[in-house]
Structure 1
Amino acid sequence: MTDPAWLRAQWDKYAPRYDRSIGFLERVQFGGGREWVCEQARGEVLEVAVGTGLNLGLYSPDARVTGLDLSPAMLELAKSRADGLGRPVTLRQGNAETLPFPDASFDTVVCTLGLCGFPDDRAAIAEMHRVLRPGGALLLLDHIGSDHRPLRWAQRLLERFTLRQIGDHQTRRPLPLVTEAGFEITRAERLKFGTVERLAARKPV
């Protein structure tokens, strides 16, 4: 299991160039995904792995957003973005696998391009379930292992590099773990030759 201190240090170093380095993928691979997620968020919203705050300008003005990230450097950039947008937001440093919030605290939990980087994605999803209120929504966007064998083979090769660099997995798929955690899937879209998934789920009442 990846050491959280190492992971935090890697993301702190990566933070200043994150927006620039992901710009091409945001347009070509994930285009429209953040909007798809954020337009469904309602009420008290927790964004896990808020990063540099790329989603903050996409939420409804009525959404009350709390953002959590492991990396203090990422949170500094998110704060600057929120200030520039005039967007009230609560930012917390913390680990997605042990969320620092009471049970049933939020109406919506959002995670975009974050589950791929958590050492224990199963634990993180269980924590998202815990902090959601009954009837609350889980909204996810992530890159996943393709269902096309040549692409999946290439992803496995890439994963050898990204795991060493920033602990980033290329071949995971959250959907089975979301179901296992007790969520009801309400909407799922698999795109880009099976490498991207948008997922909406509900915590049963």
Structure 2
Amino acid sequence: MSFLSDNYVEETRFGFWFLRSHTWQHHVLRVAINDLRSLFSEPPPAHPVLLDAGCGQGKSFQLLHQTFAPQRLTGLDADPHSLELSREEAARQCIEVELIGSDCASIQLPDASVDLLFCHQTFHHLVEQDLALAEFYRVLKPGGYLLFAESTEAYIDTWVIRWLFRHPMHVQKSAAGYLQMIRQQGFEFGPQNVSYPYLWWSRARDFGLLERLGLQRPKAAGEREETLVNVVARKPLEGAV
């Protein structure tokens, strides 16, 4: 398989299958998009130009279309096979999508051309994270939004996830690390724009089994090392101070 990035980390067969499963679509994608929509401090742009950075097999397209009603939807991925499946998914859903074969560290779009940039469970796969985040900032319009939903090192660096999936382990970060990185790039957000979902599938080690059996007390925020972080971050308007 020839990938469109020299730094692409190929997913396992299980991982590739999981990304088209009902669990992924219903319990991961749908929940993340709904949560991100709730984190806006003001209504999102009407009929935006929307970029799905790391669109995978296109399972997000219908949910993004229903939630944000984009005038233009673009999917980007560095895996040609995933892009072909995305094309099939878009046709099956009767959704018009422009597909770009590219690394997130070098996005083939003009400056300030995107209103919303959706990056869901993609960033922890990227080796050149600083370059990718700079590209996200570049292609967003002033006042545009980064919709960032990510698993943290506390989740990725567990035996079951390392066994089932493939990730570049040297770039994994904590929730605080990702938020600091986004802020340092120049994005703006407040506490009201950030959430730390505590979902069953994100419970490190046992997927919350002990809690469901009543053998362990659920940990409250502040007691646990966060395994998920969602943030809606805005690129400042030109001339803003």
Please say whether Structure 1 and Structure 2 have the same fold, judged by a TM-score greater than 0.5.
yes
Query: Quick check: 179-188 or 54-63, which moved more?
Result: 54-63
Change in 2 beyond 3 A, CA 1:130/1:6: closer
Report 1:153-168 matches (<5 A). Answer: 155=157, 157=159, 161=163, 165-167=166-168
Report 1:38-57 matches (<5 A). Answer: 42=45, 43-57=48-62
1:25 Cα deviation (Å)?
5.9
Rounded Cα–Cα distance in structure 2 between residues aligned with 1:201 and 1:112? 14
SS at match of 1:32: helix
Query: Quick check: 113-122 or 52-61, which moved more?
Result: 52-61
1:125 Cα deviation (Å)?
0.9
- Residues 11 and 71, structure 1, Cα contact 8 Å, conserved in 2: no
Report 1:138-157 matches (<5 A). Answer: 138-146=146-154, 155=157, 157=159
Rounded Cα–Cα distance in structure 2 between residues aligned with 1:31 and 1:104? 27
What residue number does 1:17 align with?
Answer: 17
Letter in structure 2 aligned against 1:19: L
1:170 Cα deviation (Å)?
5.3
The CA deviation string for residues 64-88 of structure 1, in whole angstroms up to 9 with x for no partner, is: 1111001011111111111011101
TM-score of the pair, normalised by structure 1:
0.79
1:157 Cα deviation (Å)?
4.7
1:5 Cα deviation (Å)?
3.7
Rounded Cα–Cα distance in structure 1 between residues aligned with 2:70 and 2:197? 30
Change in 2 beyond 3 A, CA 1:35/1:44: same
Rounded Cα–Cα distance in structure 2 between residues aligned with 1:161 and 1:167? 13
Given candidates 73, 97, 100, the residue that maps to 1:92 is: 100
1:35 Cα deviation (Å)?
3.0
Quote the sequence identity (%).
Answer: 23
Change in 2 beyond 3 A, CA 1:56/1:189: same
1:176 Cα deviation (Å)?
1.1
**Which runs of no fewer than 5 residues in structure 1 stay unpaired?**
147-151
Rounded Cα–Cα distance in structure 1 between residues aligned with 2:189 and 2:94? 34
Change in 2 beyond 3 A, CA 1:161/1:16: closer
**Which runs of no fewer than 5 residues in structure 2 stay unpaired?**
199-223
Change in 2 beyond 3 A, CA 1:12/1:131: farther
Change in 2 beyond 3 A, CA 1:99/1:166: same
What residue number does 2:111 align with?
Answer: 103
The Cα RMSD (Å) is 3.1
TM-score of the pair, normalised by structure 2:
0.68
Rounded Cα–Cα distance in structure 1 between residues aligned with 2:120 and 2:12? 18
Change in 2 beyond 3 A, CA 1:29/1:170: farther
SS at match of 2:232: strand
Name the one with the larger strand percent: 1
Count of residue pairs the alignment pairs up:
194
The CA deviation string for residues 140-196 of structure 1, in whole angstroms up to 9 with x for no partner, is: 1111134xxxxx6x8355676578x35366544421111010000140001225211
1:11 Cα deviation (Å)?
4.2
Change in 2 beyond 3 A, CA 1:82/1:115: same
Letter in structure 1 aligned against 2:149: L
- Does structure 1 residue 34 correspond to structure 2 residue 39? no
